[in-house]
Amino acid sequence: MYRKDLKTHWTSEDPSTEVLESLHREFPVDASIFEGPDSRRDFLKLMGASFALGGMNSCVRSPLEKIVSSVIAPVSVIPGKSIFFSRSLSQNGFGIGVLVESYMNRPIKIDGHPDHPMSLGASSVALQADILNFYAQDRIKIPLRKKFDSSWMAFHEDWKKYLIKNPAGEGLWILHEPDYSPGFHHMRSLFVSKFPQAQFISYDSIDSKRSEASELLFGRDLIPFFDFSKPKVILSFDYDFFSDPVSGLKYSRDFAKLRSKNKNRLYSVETDYSLTGAMADHRLARTHQSIQFLILQLAFELGVTLAHAELKIEDKEWIKSVAREFKKHHGEALIVGSEFLPPEVQALIYQMNEKLGAFQDSMSFVKSHAHPENKKKSDLYQALKNKKVSGLITLGVNPIYDSHINISKVPFTASLQQSENETTEQSYWVLPESHPLECWSDARSINGIITINQPLCSEMYDSKNTLEFLSLILDDHQSSHDFIKGLWGLSQNDWEKALRSGQLKKETVIEHPAFKKVKFTPPHTINNIELHLKADPYLYDGKFANNGWLQELPRPISKTCWGNVALLSPDLAKEKKLKNNDVVKISVDEISIEIPVWIQPGLADSAIIVNLGHGRKNQGKKYGTNAFKLLSEKRFFVLSADISKTGSVKEVACTQLHHNFPGTEPLRVVDLGDLKKVKKEDKNLPTLFPTAPIPQSEKYAWAMSIDLNLCNGCNACVIGCQSENNIPIVGEEQVKVGREMHWIRIDRYYEGPDYSKVHFQPMACVHCEKAPCEVVCPVGATNHNDEGLNQMVYNRCVGTRYCSNNCPYKVRRFNFLDYNDRYSRSLKLRSNPEVTVRSRGVMEKCSYCVQRISEAKINADLEDRNIRDGEIKTACQVVCPTQAITFGNLLDPKSEVSHKHAEAHSYGVLAELGTRPRTEYLYRVKNPQPDLLS
């Protein structure tokens, strides 16, 4: 299968050391990323590096280079060939299977594992971008005591001293990221057995009301787990299941199964504009509390409750017809709701599902594996108030930033972190944490698959992971490898098998529990403006604020990046006389933040959405505002707020403004009923552009097909492309002047009189057969190859930018400045060796991942065969959770892409210009309910 031939998966236990040491030598000791006078330069350090002579012409004599041979050739590493590690990465404590590419023992790319049910080869933005955290410049390199260099030894001494006072760990609190892996569970019990008084908190800064709801219903903590491949009708109450950090990939794939056949219908009632809302066939934008009334009303219509709500007449009608349809589809209907709804409301939704017979297949529950003796945050706050905390150890979590506690009075504080943050600033001991890719661990996926995670290389710095750290302070100094191996005690054979497949075993965690009825209490009312604080789709709770890819990735609907904004609806903006970029003061009793406004059509009126995770102190400090400030200790994420204009203005970095261009239809939408009526377009319109001067191959003609009906705008392809093709980030200022470098962008189009409907269109170079860019290049740096690729030759480009002017799709990207960081050599190690890193003054664009085509071609030639259909997958195609992207050979009539191009509703954007694009799109198909159309 595509370059991920399982034979090549790494199985040896400790990656060969000498290559690693040469790698150690390569690492500079340098400053953190966002610090320094010239911030542009500095955060370019976030990624990218250039070969010394990248883009130089051959008239320059290259300097002498060294060849470094290895001392002892590592087993199963063929120099110049990548190997792939099957492992998993943790998302909110649950593992997701990934395949990590390692080139000469350098991890360079993370993709989903094709065999792991929670990813099925796809991967989310967060998973993709984790590779950048591995190489982050500001990782803590050695233990620090009071900010001064120290050692683990010294820390251990201190720890022993601490234990003399508190032998049983009295008043010791350990805050750790949610981690449901067997390894951590075991380590925790070892720890508690030795220090019975120690308290653990599984610290999630954005704690939903899910567990409370589950307690209410089942008396224990269960997590709802859905199967979207079954239900024909789905209704989501403010729950964006596409972007669920744990199960989003699976949900997207499942949903796509029926959506690709137009066999399901999605309703969405939400406050914010989410991916789910954009995909929905019918969408209502309502505030948090009116959503609860709608739920109550639906429950009444479905005969779950007797109480019913007072609603506007159109809402009543809406619910009525929805209820009618759901009754019709008994057994194949599903209602999902936000985890931030009040517990009783969530309970009500579960009851409706039971009534609709969703419990048989499309809805089930899994164990949360949260440790029953875990304390709550509130307990910690209490203990701090009563000075009952003798020691506070924070493992990878950042409470000082996201909950305003004061630990200055705590006698012993230690913080194990990958990079400096607000908590390390106040901790006495700051300890370097290993990146998951450099140490052993195990993981449990939400559906119960156990994975044993092996490192891709030994630690780059003097760091430890959670297991090693706890083992250290338990005083039995086990390496994570010995601990995990000891824990599972497998035979060498099984052990290697587990490592190779990335799946040790599958526990059964699915349950269909019975639950007790709960009575619904009407929601507490907010009669003011409703403020929604949400986890940032990419930075989450600020964990990834230091990741340049994620900072620069446009938020799916608003297309803003580098900092957060206050999203509000046009009506509210009009009422408050606000326009984009106006800075407003949002205040929740006494506390207030200042933040620029961004007007977002399709939001619920009288609601403001603000993303959390921005305004970090030492990482990405210039970017955005810390909205955690507004949270009280109760940590309720929907608040009643006041908003007032400050008069000042801050320009927001945004990659796509909202323009109206009537008469053009780059993105085509059709109702399911009219799909049959769509006429096939003539693909060979007359054109004035000359044919490619070279003879076309009889074997291959590469082409792409993108199904707009499946694209949910999740942006995974953008990051997938960025990491595959060494695309630099450019920073806030450059984005503001319109110089972002993403080769593939997700165009967002609004539909309807109030622009309340959103559609997405991934747009990269469409590889025109008659490309306007080619004829105008004075040096022939962009031209056509015999397989229909519109190829861009960086080392020939002189940078007249004429090609971009003449490109109707404006998909060409220009290195206006030296965006690629040549200087921080650690980042060189990340970049993909198969792709030239572009110097300044050079045009670049989507190449259909030509490096993968070449590789496949060579492999095919070595085996004397043709390239098989599906053998080449472009980076964007691999990551896509809904498999909206197809790539292949048009000259092979049986290939998937040929079939898709043959569809009547397959069209080329701007084909009327005679460009003959090789990338074609399938219509976005809406499946509206007839009653609701009127």
Partner 1 sequence: MPQIFRSSSNKLSLFSLIALFVTLILVAASAYGYFKSSYHTDVGVIREQVIPFSHKHHVQGLGLDCRFCHNAVEKSNTAGMPSTELCLGCHAEIYRDSPILRPLHESLKKDHPLEWTRVHNLPDHVYFNHSIHIKKNVSCETCHGDVGSMPLVSKQRPLTMMWCLECHKQASETKDLTTCTTCHR
Partner 2 sequence: MSTEIIGAKETAGSVSDHISSIVLKEKFGFKWYIGLTLGIIGTFTLFIAVTYLFMKGIGIWGNNIPVAWAFDITNFVWWIGIGHAGTFISAILLLLRQKWRTSINRFAEAMTLIAVVCAGIFPLIHLGRPWFFFWLLPYPNEQNMWPQFRSPLMWDVFAVSTYVLISFLFWFIGLIPDLAVLRDRAKKKPVRIIYGILAMGWRGSATHWQNYERTYFLLAALAAPLVISVHTIVSLDFAVSILPGWHSTIFPPYFVAGAIFSGFAMVLTLAIPLRKFFHLESYITLKHLENSSMVLLAMGLFVAYGYLMEMMMAWWSGDVFERHVAMNRAFGPYAWVYWCLVFCNILSPQILWSKSIRQNPLVLFLLSIVINIGMWLERFMIIVTSLHRDFLASSWGMFKPTVWDFLTLLGTIGLFVFLFMVFLRLLPMIAISEMQKLADEENK
Give the residues lining the site for partner 2 (CB under 8 A).
Answer: 55, 57-59, 656-657, 659-661, 663-664, 666, 690, 734, 737-739, 745, 747-749, 761, 763, 772, 775-780, 783, 796-802, 804-806, 808-818, 839-843, 909-910, 913
Query: Residues 6 or more apart from 611 whose CB is under 8 A from it?
Result: 533, 534, 535, 536, 537, 539, 555, 564, 565, 624, 627
Q: Nearer Cβ to partner 1, position 22 or 208?
A: 22
Taking CB under 8 A as the criterion, the residue among 7, 37, 67, 493 binding partner 1 is 67
Pairwise CA distance, residues 881 & 114, whole Å: 11
Question: Cα 820 to the chain's mean position, in Å?
Answer: 23
CB under 5 to 8 A by kind: which of partner 1, partner 2, none does 791 bind?
A: partner 1
Question: Distance between CA 86 and CA 451 in Å, rounded?
Answer: 9
Q: Which is nearer to partner 2, 252 or 734 (CB)?
A: 734
Interface with partner 1 in residues 79-98 (CB under 8 A): 79-81
Alpha-carbon distance of 870 to 866, in angstroms, equals 12
3-state secondary structure string across 117-151: CCCCCCCCHHHHHHHHHHCCCCECCCCEECCEECC
Chosen from partner 2, partner 1, none, partner binding at 789 (C-beta under 5 to 8 Å by type): partner 1
Question: With CB under 8 A, what is the number of residues at the site for partner 1?
Answer: 52
Spatial separation of the C-alpha atoms in residues 247 and 252, rounded to whole Å: 9
What is the x/- site pattern for partner 1, positions 768-807, by CB under 8 A? Answer: ---------------x-xxx-x-x-xxxx-----------
Give the integer Cα–Cα distance in Å for 470 and 192.
11
Q: How far is the CB of 656 from partner 2 (least distance, A)?
A: 6
- Whose Cβ is closer to partner 1: residue 547's or residue 783's? 783
Instruction: Measure the CA–CA gap between 887 and 898, rounded to whole angstroms.
Output: 9
For partner 1, the binding residues in 212-251 under the rule CB under 8 A are: none
Q: Which of 517, 520, 666 is nearest to 217 (CA)?
A: 517
- Taking the least distance from each CB to partner 1, the nearer of 83 and 299 is 83
Among partner 1, partner 2, none, the one that 861 touches (CB under a kind-dependent 5 to 8 A) is: partner 1
Applying CB under 8 A, which of residues 66, 146, 409, 634 lies at the interface with partner 1?
66
Distance in Å, CB of 104 to partner 1, minimum: 10
**Interface segment toward partner 1; rule CB under 8 A; list 34-42, 65-73, 461-469, 804-812:** 65-73
Q: Binding of partner 1 at residue 858 (CB under 8 A)?
A: yes
Name residue 465's amino acid. Answer: N
Among partner 2, partner 1, none, the one that 847 touches (CB under a kind-dependent 5 to 8 A) is: partner 1
CA distances to 28, 126, 216 from 519, rounded to whole Å, are 62, 39, 11
What is the smallest separation between the CB atom of 807 and partner 2, expressed in angstroms?
9
- Which residues lie below 8 Å from residue 919, measured CB to CB, with a gap of 6+? 703, 704, 705, 706, 764, 765, 766, 767, 908, 909
Residue 310 touches which of partner 1, partner 2, none (CB < 5 to 8 A by kind)? Answer: none
Cα dist from 853 to 212, 624, 835, 857, whole Å: 51, 41, 12, 6
For 754, other C-beta atoms within 10 Å of its C-beta total 12
Binds partner 1 (CB under 8 A): choice among 37, 62, 676, 934: 62
The neighbouring-strand residues paired with 107 are 102
CB of 164 to partner 1, least distance (A): 41
Report the partner that residue 775 touches, choosing among partner 1, partner 2, none (CB closer than 5 to 8 A by kind).
partner 2
**What is the closest distance, in whole angstroms, from the C-beta atom of residue 479 to partner 1 in the complex?**
20
- Which residue's CB is nearer to partner 2, number 55 or number 182? 55
810, 854, 865, 931: which one contacts partner 1 (CB under 8 A)?
A: 854
| Residue 808 near which of partner 2, partner 1, none (CB within 5-8 Å, type-dependent) | partner 2
Nearest residue (CB) to partner 2, 211 versus 806: 806
Q: Which does 154 bind (CB under 5 to 8 A by kind): partner 2, partner 1, none?
A: none
Q: Which parts of 671-700 interact with partner 1 (CB under 8 A)?
A: 694-695, 697
User: SS3 of 828, please?
Assistant: helix
- The span from the CA of 211 to the CA of 204, in Å, is 13
Tokens in use for 903? 């569809």
- CA 643, CA 568: separation in Å to the nearest integer? 11
CB of 142 to partner 1, least distance (A): 22
**What tokens appear for 340 in the block?**
């931030």
Encoded tokens for 311: 């609603």
Cβ-contact 804, 814 below 8 angstroms: yes
CB-based contact 922:261 (threshold 8 Å):
no
Question: Which among partner 1, partner 2, none contacts residue 659 (Cβ within 5 to 8 A by kind)?
Answer: partner 2
Residue 78 or 902: the one with the smaller Cβ distance to partner 1 is 78
Closest distance to partner 2 from the beta carbon of 658 (Å): 9
Query: Of 862, 913, 560, 883, which Cα lies nearest the Cα of 716?
Result: 883
For partner 2, give the closer residue by CB, 817 or 891: 817
Site track for partner 1 across 11-40, x = CB under 8 A: ------xx--xx------------------
Choose the binding region for partner 1 from 212-220, 652-660, 768-776, 832-840 (rule: CB under 8 A).
832-840
Could you tell me which residues come within 8 angstroms of residue 394 by beta carbon, excluding any fewer than 6 positions away? 175, 203, 413, 414, 415, 416, 417, 423, 427
Contact 62, 53 (CB under 8 A): yes
In the complex, the residues that contact partner 1 under the rule CB under 8 A are 17-18, 21-22, 51-56, 58-59, 61-62, 64-73, 78-81, 694-695, 697, 783, 785-787, 789, 791, 793-796, 834-836, 847, 850-851, 853-854, 858, 861-862
